[in-house]
Structure 1
Amino acid sequence: MSVVSDAVTVLRRDGLIVYPTETVYGLGADALSDYAVHRVYEVKQRPVGKPISVAVSDEDMMYAIAEISDEAWEFIRTFLPGPVTVVLPVKSCLPPVLSGGTGMIGIRMPQNKITCDIIAELDAPITATSANLSGTMAPVSKEQVNVPYDLFIEGGELSGTPSTVVDLAARRILRPGDDIERIAAFLRTLE
């Protein structure tokens, strides 16, 4: 069996994987499973009501879970895949707990090939939150992961720079991270 098929088997059983992105290690669960999503909140000791982003493998999957304007597509096609989380109006297919009652969802499209292959093979988004207890440092190596999981996917030492979080409806940066200057310049063109 390959690491991709192993990870998909774990996810289909509502298990948790730790996976590499271009920034930090993420804690992944099937984002369409209420049970799996609640496990993520539980192991991270994250307050329910605090949104959790999701990761998708391609634009079709993104379109299936979020309302996307023409301007948003322009941004997405410029910056994704990459270390950016876009915040968009969520469709009703995701468990409501993920959006924390905001009606919005953060979406990542990681550049990591194995992670994208896992999501594509699962044919569903996975949670995209760092693999750590809430309030502690986001892990850049296996040794720094401090939450329970069922499968770890090795990706070496990661950069540690968080993804830039962008609210495309409000056209503003919610959390600065990678590629901030280019993103800010792009958002100014939308004004």
Structure 2
Amino acid sequence: MSDDVTAAADAVRHGEVVVYPTETVYGMGADATNPDAVERVFDTKGRDRDKPLSAGFPSVDAALEYVVTTDLEVAFMRRFLPGPVTVVVERRDALPDVLVAGRDRVGVRVPDHDLACDFFERADTPVTATSANRSGTGSITNPSQLSDDVREAVAVVLDGGTTPGTESTVVDPGRGIIHRRGAMADDIETWLAEHADSEPDA
């Protein structure tokens, strides 16, 4: 498996797309700082360019190098990451417009999954974090479910067995907004309520 992770990391650094497991579903990864690689992810998924992608990192500290955060947002990230949560915060310019459909905020993922984080660490760059299915079809919880189109388009498939299948919760803690309820949504809602008055809305 170590050789597979190295191959996947090398592929990402060369602008290619890979499939990798997380603690939710399988993701589709490419260098999130490389506009051409990000375009390949959109093409492989058949995804509309006006729907932003998230970026995956091996740790909160790694993510903080690519985003602008308030104290409250950092506190939220350190409470819920690594974990099945996508945290929406302001991006830095190193993350290109195409990744986020021209928006000023980006979803940050730090999976609670050793294989995914090892892959991110070896890639040594932010990696796109979006489900490995074709748009409009169900999420992938096992590599056997990958469509032929996706399997042919990606350079490496990291097989981590079957994943749980629960989608991550997407939350903008700075604005107190849960965009999508998924794993840990109730805990997140409680945390946001408890911290609602600790910092003005961004």
TM-score interval, smaller chain? over 0.9
Partner of 1:179: 184
Report the TM-score, using the length of structure 2 for normalisation: 0.91
Residue identity opposite 1:160 in structure 2: G
Name the CA distance, whole Å, in 2 between partners of 1:134 and 1:156.
22
Cα shift readout 1:47-102 (whole Å, capped 9, x = no counterpart): 11210001001123211111111101111111100100000011100111111122
1:51–1:99 contact (8 Å) kept in structure 2? yes
Q: Are positions 1:13 and 2:17 aligned together? A: no
Residue identity opposite 1:5 in structure 2: T
Secondary structure at the aligned position of 2:179 is classed as strand
Secondary structure at the aligned position of 1:82 is classed as coil
Q: Are positions 1:144 and 2:145 aligned together? A: yes
Counterpart mapping for 1:72-151 below 5 A: 72-146=73-147, 147=150, 148-151=153-156
Percentage of identical aligned residues: 39
Question: Structure 2: where are the runs of 5+ without partners?
Answer: 197-202
RMSD: 1.1
Query: Offset at 1:169?
Result: 2.2
Q: Are positions 1:158 and 2:163 aligned together? A: yes
Partner of 1:167: 172
Partner of 2:26: 25
1:61–1:124 contact (8 Å) kept in structure 2? no
Name the CA distance, whole Å, in 1 between partners of 2:87 and 2:5.
25
2:97–2:103 contact (8 Å) kept in structure 1? no
Name the CA distance, whole Å, in 1 between partners of 2:183 and 2:60.
21
Cα shift readout 1:14-39 (whole Å, capped 9, x = no counterpart): 11110000000000001111111000
2:72–2:174 contact (8 Å) kept in structure 1? no
1:21–1:115 contact (8 Å) kept in structure 2? yes
Secondary structure at the aligned position of 2:187 is classed as helix
How many residues in Structure 1 have an aligned counterpart in Structure 2? 191
Name the CA distance, whole Å, in 1 between partners of 2:166 and 2:178.
15
Partner of 2:193: 188
Q: Are positions 1:57 and 2:46 aligned together? A: no
Name the CA distance, whole Å, in 2 between partners of 1:169 and 1:109.
18
Name the CA distance, whole Å, in 2 between partners of 1:21 and 1:59.
16
1:18–1:131 contact (8 Å) kept in structure 2? yes
Secondary structure at the aligned position of 2:171 is classed as strand
Secondary structure at the aligned position of 2:31 is classed as coil
